[in-house]
A and B are shown apart, each in its own frame.
Chain A
Amino acid sequence: MSTHDHDHDHQHASGEHHHHDEERGPESYYAARTKALESLFREKGLIGTDTVDRVIHFFDHEMGPFNGARVVAKAWTDEAFKARLLADANQAIKELGLREGIEGENLKVVENTPSTHNVVCCTLCSCWPWPLLGLPPYWFKDPVFRARVVREPRAVLKDFGVELDSAKKVAIWDSSAQVRFFVIPQRPEGTEHFSEEQLAALVSTEAMQGLGLVSTAQQGA
């Protein structure tokens, strides 16, 4: 999509507002319409002046992929915890002080192994385990990802820079009802001496849905 943002000062006859808006760039239109929505909500008493800021702060600091990374690091270092996590994720995450919440009322954790690589998707919309990962990134919601990943997971993994070992089987989890799936990636070699904090820092959002691997190599950006 073009985000070219000319600030044309063309004057059009009335009735050509829409055309005029497009020339200024669609993003400024969407931004203005979002402000208009929030503004109307405030006028009508449907929202507080700080509600939107609090929601944004909530997903930056309370409910985000940093929660899932802590769960992975703990599972990698504590076999008994991992067993409890695989059996009942909603109970097990409470041991880490993590809370359930929206889109995490029914969590299911699965584990990548030398023989099986798990991949999570939602072909009907964008169901995602919010308490562990926050909000879904764009790729997860991309209709192309959702269309392709169920039929050709290996090719989609290549789009993410992941070349899967040909001996591995892929298990795909399509989230169509109440359960939200979460993947424990494989622990990389050479991390035996890492602390839980160091391990958590290696784990990407993508790895916790099976669209990335975890490695100790520094990754660009």
Chain B
Amino acid sequence: MKLQQFLGGIEGLGPVAVEKRVFVQPWEARLFGVHATMMGTSIWAWPDLRVKAEGMNPLDYFKYRYYIKWQGAMAEFLVERGYIEAAELDALTQRFLDNPDTPLPEKGNPHITDRVIDYLWTGDDPYRNIATQPKFKVGDSVCVKDVPLGIHTRLPGYLRKKVGVVEVVYDGAYLYWDKGPTDGLGTPQPVYNVRFNTTDIWPEIPDHGDVLYNDFFEVYLDSVQQQ
């Protein structure tokens, strides 16, 4: 079991770090620029990054700042896929540590920039305009499956085995990712918005009438027998 797939509802963690900045160090913005380039040139996609995040040591996942984790994931991925070599990355890191004023090389591919910016304006719409027969309809009670644990999931752990009501059946079908390991998201499928009473998820909390909505790929839902 991977803690990162079961974050929702953990108790005893203390206050939230209310840091309202997007980047807290200048290098984080530049790292993000490299990440955006990897996205915009199809070197990787969100699920690749999420696989890395979910595969981390959970104590490190809590310990390290967001972009520190990203940097580790990016470097690992780039080495695994042969885009760079670990030794050259380490050697160059040391060179910039020893001589922080060393300029970056004035070379590159000038066509990449527009491609990346165009990608930021376009994104990757996962919508697939195919005929589907959704299993559930608005108002149906559904039970979240306790699917086998996987390397990568879009099922929040705290909702496993909980019962909610279908609020929205989204049009068409959505493909999450067919290029890597998931727990059933490799084919286009209907997606549902499901409403839960938070006291049905955590019976021990005070009842304020609060509700929680989550979007589910169809593979994660089962019907509930009407009583």
Q: In the complex, what residues of A have CB within 8 A of residue B8's CB?
A: 123, 146-147, 150-151, 174
Contacting B at CB under 8 A, from A25-64, are 26-56, 58-59, 63
Please give me the residue from chain A that is nearest to B191 by CB atom. Answer: A177
Is the CB of B7 closer than 8 A to any CB of chain A?
A: yes
CB pair A177 B68 closer than 8 Å = no
| Nearest CB of chain B from residue A205's CB, rounded to whole Å | 7
Number of B residues near A (Cβ < 8 Å) is 104
B75 touches A (CB below 8 Å): yes
List the A side residues contacting B33 at CB < 8 Å.
Answer: 38, 51-53, 55-56
Q: How far is the CA of A152 from the CA of B26 in the complex (A)?
A: 34
A77-85, A164-172, A192-200: which lies at the B interface? A164-172
- Cα–Cα distance between A49 and B61 once the two chains are bound (Å): 32
Residues of chain B contacted by A68 (CB below 8 angstroms): none
Chain A: CB-nearest residue to B13 = A144
Contact between B36 and A55 (Cβ–Cβ < 8 Å)? Answer: yes
Question: Distance in Å from the Cβ of A7 to the closest Cβ of chain B?
Answer: 11
Decide: A46 near B43, CB < 8 A? Known: A37-B74, A136-B22, A138-B24. Answer: yes
Q: Considering residues A17, A44, A123, A170, which has the most beta carbons from chain B within 10 angstroms of its beta carbon?
A: A123
CB <8 Å contact, A150 and B9: yes
**Contact residues in A for B205 (Cβ distance below 8 Å):** 151-152
B16 touches A38 (CB 8 A): no
| B209 interface hit (Cβ, 8 Å) | yes
Among B125, B210, B215, which residue has its beta carbon within 8 angstroms of that of A169?
B210
B198 close to A (CB within 8 Å): yes
Q: Is the CB of A105 within 8 A of B126?
A: yes
Is the CB of B14 closer than 8 A to any CB of chain A? Answer: yes
Q: How far is the CA of A161 from the CA of B75 in the complex (A)?
A: 38
A34–B174 touching, CB < 8 Å: no
Q: Which of B14, B78, B112 contacts A144 (CB 8 A)?
A: B14
What A residues does B211 contact at CB under 8 A?
169-172
Using Cβ atoms and an 8 Å threshold, which residues of chain A touch B191? Answer: 177-179
- Asked, given contacts A17-B94, A123-B8, A138-B20, whether A54 binds B113 with beta carbons under 8 Å apart, the answer is yes
Q: Does A134 contact B (CB under 8 A)?
A: yes
Decide if B120 touches A41 in the complex (CB within 8 Å).
no
Decide yes or no whether A188 CB sits under 8 A from chain B.
no
Q: Report if B141 contacts A (CB, 8 A).
A: no
**Are A147 and B112 in touch, CB under 8 angstroms?**
no
Please measure, in the bound complex, the distance between the C-alpha atom of A153 and the C-alpha atom of B208, giving whole angstroms. 11
Assess A138 versus B17: contact at CB under 8 Å? Given A150-B212, A152-B205, A171-B211. Answer: yes
Are the C-beta atoms of B213 and A36 separated by less than 8 Å? Answer: no
Q: How far is the CB of B47 from chain A (nearest CB, A)?
A: 10
Name the residue of chain A whose CB is nearest to the CB of B20.
Answer: A137
**CB-based nearest A residue for B67:** A30
What is the chain B residue whose CB lies nearest that of A100?
Answer: B123
Q: Within the complex, which residue of B34, B64, B68 is in contact with A52, where a contact is CB–CB below 8 Å?
A: B34
**Distance (whole angstroms) from the CB of A191 to the closest CB of chain B:** 23
Q: Which residues of B are found within 8 Å of A176, using beta-carbon distances? A: 154-156, 214-216
Chain A 195-213 interface 0/1 with B at a Cβ cutoff of 8 Å (1 = within): 0000000000110000000
B120 and A58 contact, CB distance less than 8 A: yes
CA distance A212 to B31 in the complex (A): 29
The 20 sampled A-B contact pairs (Cβ below 8 Å) are A1-B65, A32-B97, A33-B89, A35-B96, A37-B75, A39-B92, A39-B105, A42-B104, A44-B84, A63-B120, A101-B122, A124-B154, A146-B8, A147-B9, A147-B10, A166-B208, A174-B213, A177-B154, A178-B170, A179-B215
Chain B residues in the interface with A (C-beta under 8 A) = 4-5, 7-11, 13-22, 24-34, 36-37, 39, 41, 43, 46, 50, 53, 61-62, 64-68, 71, 74-75, 78, 83-84, 88-89, 92-97, 100, 102, 104-113, 116-117, 119-127, 153-156, 158, 170, 174, 176, 191, 193, 198, 201-202, 205, 208-217
